[in-house]
């Protein structure tokens, strides 16, 4: 039976999109914009909900730990599940769980009866959803663009993601100040519902059938072998285990405390977070044009400025100084983020993306529960300024260590692509872009309307990071 011809309007819309912006890429980007608008405000709202309930700095750390602990515990399972069943189903289910938990959280806060243990349970449910969502989302995104234009596509995606974060942080800080944290949490629940609806329309018809495996444990072992066999990969993940743990303590505990005690409340902290978002957008704009040859060397050099916000809070600088530090940090880390995602797209086989991504997320977030829980006691034991200076110094130290790994310095961009016949329809049509079949040299594919696709060769392996 002949397919109906596409309408002129749909053809016109597809023609206006860049060739690498397929249907799945557009849906993923739109859904991420929606969730980031809600999530950045919800981060501020959660902290102030704890304060309004009479909680202390230690309680803020406990609520943050309750989110991060299930995230760490379930990440590996989430990665294996996302490589066994359609990734978009995992993403939609995770969004539904986060929507319900945030809605209940909002009702409790608006009613004035929220208790610390209830906040911990609800944020733990959010963390559980995120543990299944992150590996699936990363794998889905990395299979939605062509190898040749991957860097630009990831830069544009991250530009949209962080641009939404700017608005979400600024709006969240203002709404917390004017209407209270409960309404901000309700907006976040609505954002999860809308994003889940968009992700339900993702097309996975071009994804090759998964070969039968030996079960969940066998899948995890295979992902581990893919991960541990590359020194540059696990060394950077180990680095970020420390860096992300410290950032979590700074952003979830120390930053709001400094804002409350030294800067005047939630709004200045929201402005500072928005400045970080502006910096990431500026970095993403830069990466749409700049294609550094030594991907991970340049990216790792740009991790050093992440220590600037901790140092600024340690002084503490005024709002202008803190905003500048956050902007520089955001711009620098975006160079790393795009380079890291490009390396993953270039190196890891499609059928292992979510498992390898899960090991990345697991390693990078492993210390978050401990670091956020210890932030309050560290302030009491050493003083707030001393703890923040220690965090900044440790970030610089572990980043310098990673540069000693030869593979980190030497991994290079390989822009060569080739055409193969018989691939799934691509961005110019309504069909999803499909990944390449499993082979020793296979990587990601994205088709075009005439049934051709581009492929990037796989050599050493990498994994993606969303910053």
Q: Could you read off the pLDDT of 324-354 as tens digits, one per residue? A: 999 999 999 889 988 888 887 787 777 777 7
Q: Determine the Cα–Cα distance for residues 241 and 419; give it in Å rounded to an integer.
A: 38
Residue 96's pLDDT is what? 93
Kindly give, in sequence order, each residue whose CB lies less than 8 Å from that of residue 234, ignoring residues fewer than 6 positions away: 227, 228, 363
Residue 207's pLDDT is what? 61
Q: Evaluate whether 172 touches 284 at the Cβ level (below 8 Å).
A: no
Read off the DSSP letter of residue 277. H
Q: Determine the Cα–Cα distance for residues 173 and 298; give it in Å rounded to an integer.
A: 34
pLDDT in tens, 95-128: 999 999 999 999 998 888 788 888 889 989 988 9
What's the whole-number mean pLDDT along residues 225-233?
A: 84
Q: pLDDT tier at 20 (50, 70, 90 boundaries)?
A: low
Q: pLDDT tier at 49 (50, 70, 90 boundaries)?
A: confident
112 token code pair: 């004035």
Asked if pLDDT for residue 209 goes beyond 70, the answer is no
Number of neighbours of residue 403 by Cβ within 10 angstroms: 17
Kindly give, in sequence order, each residue whose CB lies less than 8 Å from that of residue 103, ignoring residues fewer than 6 positions away: 186, 189
Q: Determine the Cα–Cα distance for residues 92 and 336; give it in Å rounded to an integer.
A: 28
Decide: helix, strand or coil at residue 453: strand
Decide: helix, strand or coil at residue 461: coil
Asked if pLDDT for residue 462 goes beyond 50, the answer is no
Q: pLDDT tier at 400 (50, 70, 90 boundaries)?
A: very high
Q: pLDDT tier at 466 (50, 70, 90 boundaries)?
A: very low
Q: What stretch of H or E contains 84?
A: none
Please give the residue that has the higher pLDDT: either 145 or 441.
145
Q: pLDDT tier at 397 (50, 70, 90 boundaries)?
A: very high
The single residue listed with the structure tokens 């809600």 is 38
Averaged pLDDT score across all residues of the chain: 77
Please give the residue that has the higher pLDDT: either 413 or 185.
185
The single residue listed with the structure tokens 């991504």 is 357
Q: Determine the Cα–Cα distance for residues 243 and 400; give it in Å rounded to an integer.
A: 12
Q: Determine the Cα–Cα distance for residues 314 and 331; give it in Å rounded to an integer.
A: 21
Which of 31, 25, 1 is CA-nearest to residue 428? 25
The single residue listed with the structure tokens 């193969």 is 420
Kindly give, in sequence order, each residue whose CB lies less than 8 Å from that of residue 457, ignoring residues fewer than 6 positions away: 346, 414, 416, 441, 443
Number of neighbours of residue 321 by Cβ within 10 angstroms: 15
Helices (H), 203-318: 216-228, 231-249, 255-258, 266-287, 295-301, 308-314
Q: What's this model's pTM, rounded to 2 decimal places?
A: 0.65
Residue 147's pLDDT is what? 60
What's the whole-number mean pLDDT along residues 288-299?
A: 88
Residue 26's pLDDT is what? 87
Distances (CA, A) of 71 to 34, 41, 49, 135: 21, 20, 21, 11
Asked if pLDDT for residue 389 goes beyond 90, the answer is yes
333 token code pair: 């880390």
Q: Determine the Cα–Cα distance for residues 192 and 198; give it in Å rounded to an integer.
A: 10
pLDDT in tens, 145-166: 766 667 778 888 888 887 787 7
Residue 439's pLDDT is what? 30
Q: pLDDT tier at 300 (50, 70, 90 boundaries)?
A: very high
Q: Evaluate whether 248 touches 373 at the Cβ level (below 8 Å).
A: no
Range of lowest pLDDT (236-240, 268-272, 422-426): 422-426
Q: Evaluate whether 458 touches 440 at the Cβ level (below 8 Å).
A: yes
Please give the residue that has the higher pLDDT: either 163 or 175.
175
Range of lowest pLDDT (32-36, 65-69, 329-333, 384-388): 65-69
Residue 453's pLDDT is what? 27
Asked if pLDDT for residue 370 goes beyond 50, the answer is yes
Which of 190, 31, 166 is CA-nearest to residue 98? 190
pLDDT in tens, 402-413: 999 998 998 888
Residue 387's pLDDT is what? 92
Q: pLDDT tier at 429 (50, 70, 90 boundaries)?
A: very low
Q: Evaluate whether 82 touches 210 at the Cβ level (below 8 Å).
A: no
Q: Evaluate whether 250 touches 372 at the Cβ level (below 8 Å).
A: no
Kindly give, in sequence order, each residue whose CB lies less than 8 Å from that of residue 211, ignoring residues fewer than 6 positions away: 351, 438
Given its phi and psi angles, is residue 101 left (phi above 0), alpha (psi -120 to 50 degrees) or beta?
A: alpha
Q: Evaluate whether 172 touches 42 at the Cβ level (below 8 Å).
A: yes
Longest dimension (CA), the chain: 74
Q: Determine the Cα–Cα distance for residues 318 and 354; give it in Å rounded to an integer.
A: 42
Q: pLDDT tier at 375 (50, 70, 90 boundaries)?
A: confident
**Strand 452-455 with 445-447, pairing:** antiparallel
Decide: helix, strand or coil at residue 418: strand
Whether residue 316 is preceded by a cis peptide bond, meaning omega within 30 degrees of 0, is: yes
Q: Evaluate whether 384 touches 258 at the Cβ level (below 8 Å).
A: yes
Number of neighbours of residue 112 by Cβ within 10 angstroms: 10
């Amino acid at each position: 039976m002949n397919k109906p011809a596409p309408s002129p309007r749909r053809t016109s819309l597809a023609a206006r999109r860049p060739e690498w912006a397929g249907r799945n890429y557009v849906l993923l980007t739109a859904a991420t914009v929606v969730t980031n608008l809600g999530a950045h405000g919800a981060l501020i709202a959660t902290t102030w909900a704890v304060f309004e309930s009479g909680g202390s700095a230690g309680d803020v750390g406990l609520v943050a730990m309750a989110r991060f602990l299930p995230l760490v515990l379930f990440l590996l399972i989430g990665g294996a599940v996302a490589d066994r069943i359609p990734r978009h189903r995992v993403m939609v289910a995770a969004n539904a769980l986060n929507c319900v938990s945030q809605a209940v959280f909002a009702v409790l806060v608006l009613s004035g009866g929220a208790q610390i243990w209830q906040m911990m349970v609800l944020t733990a449910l959010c963390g559980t959803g995120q543990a299944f969502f992150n590996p699936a989302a990363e794998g889905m995104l990395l299979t939605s663009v062509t190898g040749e234009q991957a860097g630009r596509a990831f830069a544009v995606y991250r530009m949209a993601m962080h641009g939404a974060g700017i608005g979400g942080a600024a709006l969240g800080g203002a709404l917390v100040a004017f209407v209270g944290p409960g309404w901000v949490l309700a907006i976040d629940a609505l954002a999860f519902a809308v994003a889940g609806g968009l992700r339900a329309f993702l097309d996975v018809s071009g994804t090759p059938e998964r070969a039968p495996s030996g079960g969940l444990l066998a899948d995890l072992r295979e992902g581990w072998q893919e991960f541990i066999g590359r020194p540059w990969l696990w060394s950077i993940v180990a680095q970020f285990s420390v860096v992300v743990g410290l950032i979590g303590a700074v952003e979830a505990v120390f930053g709001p405390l400094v804002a409350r005690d030294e800067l005047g409340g939630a709004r200045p902290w929201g402005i500072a977070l928005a400045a970080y978002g502006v910096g990431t957008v500026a970095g993403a704009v830069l990466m749409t044009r700049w294609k550094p040859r030594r991907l991970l060397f340049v990216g790792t050099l740009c991790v050093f400025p992440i220590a600037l916000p901790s140092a600024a809070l340690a002084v503490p600088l005024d709002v202008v100084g803190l905003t500048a530090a956050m902007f520089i940090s955001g711009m620098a880390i975006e160079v790393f983020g795009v380079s890291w995602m490009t390396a993953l797209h270039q190196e890891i086989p499609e059928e292992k993306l979510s498992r390898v991504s899960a090991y990345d997320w697991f390693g990078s977030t492993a210390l978050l529960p401990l670091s956020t829980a210890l932030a309050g006691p560290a302030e009491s034991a050493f003083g707030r300024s001393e703890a923040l200076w220690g965090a900044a110094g440790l970030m610089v130290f572990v980043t310098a260590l990673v540069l000693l790994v030869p593979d980190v310095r030497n991994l290079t961009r390989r822009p060569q692509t080739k055409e193969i016949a018989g691939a799934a329809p691509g961005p110019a049509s309504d069909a999803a872009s499909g990944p390449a079949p499993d082979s020793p040299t296979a990587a990601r594919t994205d088709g075009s309307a005439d049934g051709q696709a581009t492929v990037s060769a796989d050599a050493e392996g990498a994994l993606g990071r969303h910053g």
